[in-house]
Chains A and B, each alone.
Chain A
C-alpha cells in the first residue's frame, strides 16, 4: 500500500450565476460580437498548488493547517472524488473515506439501513455487511437507536456510525475529515484504539484535524498545508512545532501598533 502525489494542482471553477446559464453562453455569439466578454465570468480557486507527497505503509498521517489551507480538497483528491487539474495521483490499495458524516448518510433511513447503504457505496456485498453488522453496532454504541431513523441522532452519534462503518471492512487506506472531533472523549479514546489496531496491519490512515491532541493521539506523521501548498511533511512532533511556530509568529504589523 502506498500513496504518491506528484505536483498535484486542483483548481476549482466557481460558476457565477452567469456562467451557469446557457443564455449567457449563447447571446454573445448570437448578437454577433463582443468576444471581449468571452471570459465566461469564470472564477478559479487554486485549492491545491503543486503538492507532492509520498505516504508509505503503516503511516498515520494528519493534515493540519488553518481554515482554507486545502485539507479537505486534498482528502477529496485522495478519495478519488476530485481528479486533479494537473499532476498525478497514484494510489495502490483499497480506499475507504468518511469525509463528512451527514453526506454519506441518508437521514430518513434507520441506522441499520444506513449501514447497508454505506457498505454498498464501498461496493461490499450484502452477506459481508450482514456479518459485520454486530461489530459495527457495538463500535458505534448506538444500542436501540440503531433501528431509529438517523435524523433522530445527534452529530456525535452520526459520527460514531460513520466511523464504525468506515473502519469495519478492513480497507487498506482510511481517510477521515475533522468531524471525528465531534465525538465525546470516551468515543475518541475508543476510536483511537480501533484505529491503532487498524494501522498495526500496515495500513494507511489519513486524517484532517484542527485538534492537536487528536493529531498526537492518532498519527505518526503530519502534513502542514497552508493556502494550498504543502509546507512540511514529516514526523508528527516536528510538523506540529513548525505549525505552532508559524501560528505564533508575529503576523503583519497590525498587532504591533498597540
Chain B
C-alpha cells in the first residue's frame, strides 16, 4: 500500500488558490455533477433537454418570421441571425441566472465535506454547455434551410467561445458569492437580464444602430455574444469585442480573485 501523506493546514492563507487549482484538477467531480444534472432532466421525461431544443426551434421560427417583417429584413438572413443570437444569449443568461444559486445548490456538500467551491461554478458551466450543445440542432437547421453561407472565418468562434467561457467563469463565481451573502441580489440579476435582452442586439441587428453608439461599445453582453456570432454570421473576426472581453477578463477576473481570496473562508458560514 502506498502511503500518501499530504500536509494540510486548514488555516492556510492560500485556501483560495487551493480552491481554484483543485477545483479544476478534480474535473471528474464537476463533469460528473454537470452530466448528472442533465441526466436528471431526462429522467421521467420523454424528451428531457430536447424540449429546450424544440423550444428554441419554435422561438426562432416565431420571432424570426414576425420580426423579419417588423424590422423589414428578409427571413433568409434574419432567421439564421436570430438563431445564432439566441443560442449564445440563452447560454449566457442561463449561466448568469443559475450562478446566483450555485452555492446554495451545493449547500449540502459545502457544509459536510472539504470541497473546492469553484466546483459548483464549473458544474453550472458544464451543465449549460451540454444544454447549448443540444440547442445547436435548430441553429444548424436554420442555416442549412436558408442556405446561409458560412466560411472558414467561422472557426474564429472557437477561441471566441473560450474567451467567453473564461469571462463567464469569473462572473458566475462573483455572482455566486455575492448572492450567497445578499439573497436579494439574485432578484436584481434576474431583472437586469430581462433588461439586457431588450437593450442588446439579440432580436434586432447591431447594424440597425448607429456605429459606435455607447449602447454597443460598452455593452459587455453584446461583446460576449459577438465573439461567437460575428465569425459565423458576418464572416468577420470581431477585434473590438476581443479587446473588450480581454480587458473584462483581466479586470473582472482580478476583482473576483481578490474577493474570493478574502471571503473564501467565510462562505461556509453564509450557507
Contacts and interface: CB of A to CB of B under 8 A. Distances in A.
B4 A94 contact: yes
B183 to A, nearest CB: 5
A125 to B, nearest CB: 7
B59 interface: no
Contacts of B268: 76, 81-83
Interface residues of B, number: 38
B94 interface: no
B259 interface: no
Contact of B10 (A1, A13, A89, A104): A89
A66 interface: no
Interface in B221-270: 265-266, 268-270
Contacts of A117: 32-33, 36
B9 A89 contact: yes
Contacts of B111: 76, 81, 103
Interface residues of A, number: 46
Contacts of B114: 79-81, 95, 97
A59 B150 CA distance: 68
B193 interface: no
A-side interface mostly: mixed
Interface stretch (A16-24, A183-191, A224-232): A16-24
Contact of A91 (B8, B109, B112, B265): B8
A144 interface: no
Interface of B: 1, 4-11, 15, 22, 26, 28-29, 32-33, 36, 40, 43, 108-115, 181-185, 188, 265-266, 268-270
Would you list the 10 A-B pairs with minimal beta carbon distance, nearest first?
A: A80-B114, A83-B265, A103-B108, A120-B29, A103-B112, A89-B10, A22-B182, A99-B112, A80-B10, A120-B28
23 contacts: A1-B5, A12-B269, A21-B182, A22-B184, A22-B185, A22-B188, A23-B184, A25-B182, A82-B269, A83-B10, A83-B11, A83-B265, A90-B11, A92-B7, A94-B4, A95-B8, A103-B108, A108-B40, A109-B36, A117-B32, A117-B33, A121-B115, A125-B28
